[in-house]
Each structure stands twice: as C-alpha cells, then as structure tokens.
Amino acid sequence: MTGRGFLPEGWGVQGEGGIAFVVTGPSGAGKSSVIGELLRRDGRLSFSVSATTRPRRPGEVHGRDYYFLSEEEFDGLIQRGELLEWTEYQGHRYGTPRSQVVDVLAQGRDVLLNVEVRGALAIARAGLPYPVVLVFMIPPTWEELAARIRARGTESEKALDARLAIAREEVRHIPEFHYLVVNDRLEEAVRQLEAIVIAERRRITRC
Amino acid sequence: MTGRGFLPEGWGVQGEGGIAFVVTGPSGAGKSSVIGELLRRDGRLSFSVSATTRPRRPGEVHGRDYYFLSEEEFDGLIQRGELLEWTEYQGHRYGTPRSQVVDVLAQGRDVLLNVEVRGALAIARAGLPYPVVLVFMIPPTWEELAARIRARGTESEKALDARLAIAREEVRHIPEFHYLVVNDRLEEAVRQLEAIVIAERRRITRC
C-alpha cells in the first residue's frame, strides 16, 4: 500500500523513477563493507558497479566490485560517451557507467553508488532527472582511518601519507553533502545508511 | 563517537540544540500508536504533551497523552503567552506549551510532537531557532480511515462524516510537509518514522 489513492492528484511522494544514493568518503572509511551489508538487506537497491583502471585488491570480483579495465578500454568508454562522470585518483581512473545509473532509475529502482568525492559531486551536478542523495562517510578519527588503510596491507608508508593528505582535502567538501555517516561500528553505520534510504523514500519536499 | 573532531572547524552535523519532529495527519491515522511505540524504542526523544479542552478518551492519561484543561485554564495559557501555537478543531482547543518544546530543544534533546495539521504548520512558521521536521501520517485508504474512527466508538455517524470532511481538507496540505508516512501496518509505520528520526540526525544540509 503506498497511500497514493489518498493523495492530491498529480503528484506523489516519489515520481516514476528511482532515487540515486551516492556514498562517498575517504579511502579507508569502510564504504564497501557498509554498502555490501545494506545491499544484502534491501532488495530494492541496485548497486552501480564503477569502472576503474586501478589494480584489483584481494577479494575483489570483476563485475561485482568494479569493472577492472585497461587504460585502452577506459578510453573507449569515455569516447563513446558511456560514462556519467569519471575522475582520476592517485594515478588511476574511476568512472560511473551511465547505463548502470540512468537505465535503472528509469525503471523506478533505487541505485546505490560508491564513488570518490569528486565523482560524487560530479554526479550531483550531472542534472539527472531523478533525486540524487549525497552521503559522506567518515571513520570516527584520523587515527582509525590510518589504521584501516594500514590494515589493508596494500599501501607503503609513503602511499599512506598521500592518502591521508587527499582525505584532508576531501573532508573539506562535507558541507556540500546531505548526510554524514560516521562509520565507527559497522552495524551502526549500516543502520544509519539504511535509515537514510528508508526516510528519503518517504520524502515529499527535497532540497 | 560523533566524528566531530574529524570535521571542518566551526560547524557540525547538528547544532547545539535538538530537532523538533512534528507528526500530524487526519484524526484516525494512528499517530498516537506509532508515536507511543517509537518513544519506547528511542530514549533520546522527548514527547511534547499538548494541552486540550477536548474530553478525555478511554485509556488516555492526563499529563502523558494530553493536559486535559477547562476552557478557563486554556484561556490562562494563552493570556500568559505559554503556548507556542493553538488551534480549534471540531469545537475544542488544542495547544502546544512553549516550554515543552523550546526548553527541551535548548538542552540538546530531540522533541516529538503530535499535533493537528494547522498546528503543525503553525509550529513550522513559529521561527524556532532549531530544525523542525514535518511528518504527515495517513492511513492506506479512506475506507480504512473511516473504519478506524468507527472502531474508536466515540463518534456518531454524523461526527464521522464531519471528521472525514475535515480530513479531505487536511490532506491538501501534504505538499507542505517533508515526509509522508503511510500507516498500513503499525510495525512498518514505526520503522519509517524511526528511520526519519535517525536520518535527520545525520543531516548536514536542510531545506
């Protein structure tokens, strides 16, 4: 029951299309873990798989976590206009395949995206004819962020310093986002992100 | 952990004060049941008890559900400026004691209010220096609304018709609210309202 028959004619809580939930935050904030758990709980959310030229990390699966592409393949996506946005981050390129987002939203399904900060802001400015909800995720402290990047074991100390410097720049953009999720404990962060999704589906007026 | 040390200086997700969650909807939407259940779950929410001159219904408790006042006592509240807003509804007066809202918000606690539609809009326009979140609750269908009012057993058929006519006028104001909760099953409506509360606590930018 949606209560639609109850409402004044000509408008609804949500239009025909879905909502795009864009989750971003510094590398090491734990976005993938939180998103993965939410996707298991909410069958109405469709994950937008990004394309990247960065190397695959242990446990990552092509087509599920990312489309891992060569530089030439990534060039092809750009040239054919198949990316909604793309950005470079630490020497690798990351992009959002347009079809992963637009086609799914047009079918009335909600889309969840995991993108880096500049990518999130680019999607917000892309002028999609669907609501775009911007969520910024941070760890509880800088020490915890450094510890999480170290625990990943894929970074040299020099690369770690570079990531932290990038993170300091990224958090300056927090005021441009709608929501802030602090990922201290996974369960609590999932609960907060889930609440944002449920609440936004009930939203009448939007910023 | 709030993540505050992580954020740019000079601003936070939420200011020093609390958030006012104003829940409204036609009589019979089930607001009291949903709110009662949410208050049991969320210890950070403080319920603002309204004052009214309407007769007490079976099961209602003075000071918990309402302050049941005489016409003279209600006049006194108005004259002493102790009401944030007051309205008349079907021959009885309903008002929001200012202290129940402003003092609690100033202490940094969130406040939940159950008021009728014009009262909700009056609170939104009262210029409180705290965020005011407006939630409109409806039953799934008009038939269900009529059935719920009948089941209450306190209304003649004539009074029922009057309530439905008022409800038809009230739902025209839905576009002025932030969120719409459809109270089909109690558990689902509580979950939606709870999600709105959790999400709004994480909100960075507001309408």
- Domain for residue A5, yes or no? no
Chain A closest-CA separation from residue B81 CA (Å): 32
Question: A182 and B7 in contact by Cβ < 8 A?
Answer: no
- Domain for residue B207, yes or no? no
Using a CB-CB distance cutoff of 8 angstroms, which residues of chain A are in contact with residue B199? 179, 192, 195-196, 198-200
pLDDT in tens, A102-116: 999 999 999 999 999
- Considering its fold, how many domains does chain A have in total? 1
Q: Which of residues 12-71 of B touch A (CB under 8 A)?
A: 13
Query: In this complex, how many residue pairs, one in chain A and one in chain B, have their CB atoms less than 8 Å apart?
Result: 132
Q: Which pair of structure tokens corresponds to residue A141?
A: 């402290």
Cα(A28)–Cα(A150) distance, rounded to whole angstroms?
9
- Domain for residue B6, yes or no? no
Question: B13 and A180 in contact by Cβ < 8 A?
Answer: yes
CA distances from B80 to B63, B75, B197 (A): 20, 9, 32
CATH number of B142's domain:
3.40.50.300
**Cβ of B10 under 8 Å from any chain A Cβ?**
no
Chain A closest-CA separation from residue B186 CA (Å): 13
Tell me the residue range of the domain where A21 lies: 16-201
- Domain for residue B9, yes or no? no
CA distances from B203 to A37, A147, A189 (A): 22, 27, 14
Cα(A62)–Cα(A53) distance, rounded to whole angstroms?
12
- Domain for residue B8, yes or no? no
Residue B27 scores a pLDDT above 90: no
Position with higher pLDDT, B176 vs B156: B176
pLDDT, position A3? 52
Range with the poorest average pLDDT among A27-41, A81-95, B4-18 = B4-18
Residue A103: CB atoms within 10 Å: 13
DSSP 8-class letter at A203: B
Cα(B132)–Cα(A51) distance, rounded to whole angstroms?
41
Maximum C-alpha span of chain B: 60
Tell me if ipTM is over 0.95. Answer: no
How distant is the alpha carbon of residue A204 from its chain centre?
23
**Cβ of A202 under 8 Å from any chain B Cβ?**
yes
Residue A80 scores a pLDDT above 90: yes
- Domain for residue B156, yes or no? yes
- Domain for residue A3, yes or no? no
Over residues B25-29, the mean pLDDT reads 89
Residue with tokens 């092509």: A62
Query: Using a CB cutoff of 8 Å and minimum separation of 24, what contacts does A81-84 make?
Result: A83/A51, A84/A122, A84/A123, A84/A126
Query: What's chain B's average pLDDT?
Result: 89
pLDDT in tens, B54-90: 999 899 999 999 999 999 999 999 999 999 999 998 8
pLDDT tier at A5, thresholds 50, 70, 90: low
- Domain for residue B7, yes or no? no
